[in-house]
């Protein structure tokens, strides 16, 4: 699955919804680059329904959080499809 083509607004929406959810576990060690394969010991979560509703092109992806960044992962091959890092103005 190719890299997602998200707008700045899409990225902000996803980060805003996911990073403000205190219940989401943070990973301490995980790959960080687009295209990297996420090892099986990293638990991926489905995107919240409000993310899919507001950013339909992200549908079908899973994610994990590390260091205030959201990593979108293609579930078919567990490759990182996009990295949404927190911006200074968020």
Q: What pLDDT was estimated at residue 65?
A: 96
- pTM score, two decimals? 0.90
Count structural domains, the chain.
1
- 3-state SS assignment for residue 11: helix
Q: What pLDDT was estimated at residue 17?
A: 95
Q: Which domain holds residue 48?
A: 8-85
**Torsion 14-65-88-36 (CA) sign:** negative
Instruction: Tell me how far apart the alpha carbons of residues 51 and 39 are, in angstroms, rounded to a whole number.
Output: 24
Residues 46-66 pLDDT 10s: 999 999 999 999 999 999 999
The counts of H helices and E strands in the chain are 2, 4
> Do the domain assignments include residue 75?
yes
Q: Determine the average pLDDT of the residues in 8-27.
A: 93
> Do the domain assignments include residue 2?
no
- 3-state SS assignment for residue 73: strand
CATH number of residue 77's parent domain? 3.10.450.160
């Amino acid at each position: 699955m190719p890299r997602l083509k998200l707008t700045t607004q899409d990225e902000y929406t996803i980060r805003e919804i996911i990073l403000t959810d205190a219940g989401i576990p943070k990973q301490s060690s995980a790959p960080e680059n687009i295209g990297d394969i996420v090892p099986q010991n990293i638990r991926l979560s489905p995107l919240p329904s409000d993310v899919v509703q507001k950013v339909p092109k992200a549908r079908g992806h899973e994610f994990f959080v590390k260091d205030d960044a959201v990593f979108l992962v293609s579930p078919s091959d567990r490759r990182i499809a996009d990295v949404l890092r927190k911006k200074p103005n968020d």
